[in-house]
Every structure is written in structure tokens, then in C-alpha cells.
Structure 1
Amino acid sequence: MIIEKPGAFVTPEFLIRQATLPWEIGGAASLRHRTFVTEQGIFPTHDRDEVDKIALPLVAISTMASEADEVVGTVRIHETDPQVWWGSRLAVAPGYRRVGRLGAELIRLAVGTAHARGCKLFLAYVQMQNVPLFEKLHWTGMGTRDLHGHPHMKMRADLAAYPPIEDPARGWMALTKQRAA
């Protein structure tokens, strides 16, 4: 008899919302560090900058028995000029990248939150490997630029595709399924 080892358990439910609790904010910062410093080597020691002082951190949180468990995705948004918003530092933990929709849900929360706050233009510099995802989500490329030694595409969201989200701290439950390996 052959017994197959089951794959790692990944919850099918995630909370998508603005980080408001200290553990959520710390979890977002830790995930960003693991992604942009440790894994990708984009930053030598940390990815923190002046934007963090004004940005709204948004998170995807895994659940266990319907209770919040850990931050497994994050993005931050901020307003640079009246009605001009930027998204940055989108990250999903490696073990959750094969889970459908987490990045897309965070993007939806980011643009929808800014839209509710009067955004008329939402922009992001997107790593080249992520451009196809953003294009599927109604974003348009505006040219490439090297940031921190890596090529990025400046992209603009089509705000008509993103209804305003008035209460990002409330967020929503995203039901996802794991894609086949």
C-alpha cells in the first residue's frame, strides 16, 4: 500500500482589509521584509521609507476556524497630490502565491479605497513579472523605469473597473481555492 503525503494545508478563507491592529501592521512589515529584502534582494537591509509614515497598509489575512491567523499578503497606498494615489510594496507570502486571487483582491481593495477618497488617478510601479496580472485587472502600461536596480512598468488603473470601498477596515472575506501545482 502506498500512502501519499498530503500537501500543505492552505485555508480557503482570507480576510481582505486595511491593517488596523498592531499585529496586522507588524505582519505586513515582516512580510515586506521577507519579500523585498530576504527573497528578492531589492533592498539590502530594509524596505522602509518615508512613504510608510503616510501610507495606508492593506492586508490579506489567513484564517483558522474562521479566526484571523496571519498576514499572508500586503500592499500600501498613499496620496501624493490631490486626487493622485499610488500603490506600492504588493507582496504575497510564497506559500500563498499559488492560492488564486490574493494579489488581485489586494489590488481591488487598494484602488477601491483610494477611489472612495476622491482618487482620480491611481498609479503603481509594477515589477515586470506582474504586469500581465495588472493588465487582466484593467491597468494600462505607461512606460518602464529602473527602480532599485530592477525594471518596473509604470501602470495606471482604470478607476471605472473599481467601485469605491468606503470602509476598508471592514473589508471582506475572500474564498479562494488552491491552484494545481
Structure 2
Amino acid sequence: MIFEPFRPFLPSDFQVKFATATWERRCAAHLRRQVFCEEQGLFDGDDRDAIDEAAIPIVAVSMLGLVADDVVGTVRIHEAEPGVWWGSRLAVAADYRKVGALGAALIRLAVSSAHARGCTRFLAHVQAQNGLLFRRLHWGIVEEKELHGRPHYLMQADLAHYPPILDAETGFHALARNSLPRKAA
């Protein structure tokens, strides 16, 4: 008897929200180290910097029914000067990158929650390979530059496409694209 290999179970429901619990913050920091230090080698050992002291961490938490399971995506936002907000350290766990909705959902909450807090300009340094995703989400390229030895774009969000979200501590649910019912052919 031959057994077909099967893909491991991945939740398809996610809560995208401000990291309010200690475990969410801890898991977000761990995910950032995995992505930016271990995978990409951009930082040696830890990617934390002075911005983390003022930044608001945002997480995508995988849900098993009504129970939070794990942090599978993160980004941080901070106000650099009145009205000018920045997003940085967007990371999605390797197993969840093909889900398709997580990066966009994290970006949406980042910009919309800053918009609710008086943001008039939202910026991010985006690795060049992720530029297309951001352009599809109504971001424009301000300039090209090199950071940490890699090509990046300084990009700005079009706030007209990001209505304010006032309850970012609760956030919203995001479903994996591949979990949505398919239309009959």
C-alpha cells in the first residue's frame, strides 16, 4: 500500500490586530529574527532597534476555531513626526507566504490604524522584490535606494485607499485565499 504525502494542516483564518498580549509581542519578535536574521541575513542575531521602543507591533494570529494559535505575520508602525507614520519589519512565516492574504492584511491594518491616529503621510522602505505587492495595494515609489546591502524602494501609501480603522486592538479577520470556495466552472 502506497500512502500519498499530504500537506501539513495550516489554519485558514487569521486575526490581524495590534499585539496586545505579551505572548503576541514575544512571538512577533521571534518571527522577525527568523525572517530578517536567519533567513535573509540582514542583521546579526537581532533586528531590534531604537524604533521598537516607540513602535506599535501588529500581528497576524492564526486561529483554530475561536482559539488563537500562533503569530504567523507581523509589522510595526510608528509616528516619526506629527502626521508622518512609518511601517517597517513586515514579516510572514515561511509556511504562510503562499496564503496570499496575510501581507496585504498586515499592510491594511498598519496604514488604516495610523490613518485613524492622524496620519497624513505613511511611508515604508520596501525590499525591491516586494515592490509589486505594495504597488497593487496603492503605494507609489518615492525613490530607489540601497539599505542593508539590498535594493529597496522608499514608498508612500495612498491614504484614500485606507479608511481609518479605530479598533485596531481587535482588528479584523482575514481568510486565506486558498480557503475560499471556488466558483463552479
Using structure 2 for the length normalisation, give the TM-score: 0.94
Instruction: Name the counterpart of 2:26.
Output: 26
Residue 78 of structure 2 is aligned to residue 78 of structure 1: yes
Once the two structures are superposed, residues 40-93 of structure 1 have per-residue CA deviations (whole angstroms, 9 ceiling, x without a partner) of 000012100000000000000011232101000000000001100000000000
Q: What amino acid maps onto 2:178 in structure 1? A: Q
Partner of 2:106: 106
Distance 2:11 2:70 in 1: 11
User: What SS does the corresponding residue of 1:166 show, helix, strand or coil?
Assistant: coil
Query: Per-residue deviation at 1:167?
Result: 1.2
CA contact 2:83–2:119 (8 Å) conserved in 1: yes
The answer to whether the Cα contact below 8 Å between 1:126 and 1:152 also exists between their aligned partners in 2 is yes
Q: Is the 8 A contact 1:10 1:178 kept in 2?
A: no
Matched, 1:12 2:12: yes
How many pairs does the alignment contain? 179
Distance (Å, rounded) in 2 between the aligned partners of 1:79 and 1:65: 35
Residue of structure 2 equivalent to 1:134: 134
What CA distance in whole angstroms lies between the structure 2 residues aligned with 1:148 and 1:5? 39
1:52-67 maps to which residues of 2 (within 5 A)? 52-67=52-67
Q: Which moved more, 1:168-177 or 1:155-164?
A: 168-177
Q: How far apart, CA to CA, are the structure 2 residues paired with 1:25 and 1:178?
A: 28
In 1, Cα distance between equivalents of 2:177 and 2:152: 29
3-state SS of 2:178 partner: coil
TM-score, with structure 1 as normaliser: 0.96
CA distance in 1, matches of 2:155, 2:18: 22
Separation (CA, whole Å) in 2 of partners of 1:71 and 1:11:
12
Q: Tell me the distance in 2 between the aligned counterparts of 1:169 and 1:44.
A: 31
How many percent of aligned residue pairs carry the same amino acid? 55
Q: Secondary structure at the match of 2:37?
A: helix
- List structure 1 runs of 4+ shifted beyond 6 angstroms: none
Query: Displacement, 1:100?
Result: 1.7
RMSD of equivalent CA atoms: 1.1
SS in 1 for 2:89: strand
Please list every run of 5 or more consecutive structure 2 residues that lacks an aligned counterpart in the other structure.
180-185
Name the CA distance, whole Å, in 1 between partners of 2:109 and 2:65: 24
2:173 is matched with 173
1:152 matches 2:155: no
> Residue 118 in 1 paired to residue 118 in 2?
yes
Q: Is the 8 A contact 1:140 1:155 kept in 2?
A: yes
Match of 1:93 in 2: 93
Counterparts of 2:48 and 2:160, CA distance in 1: 31
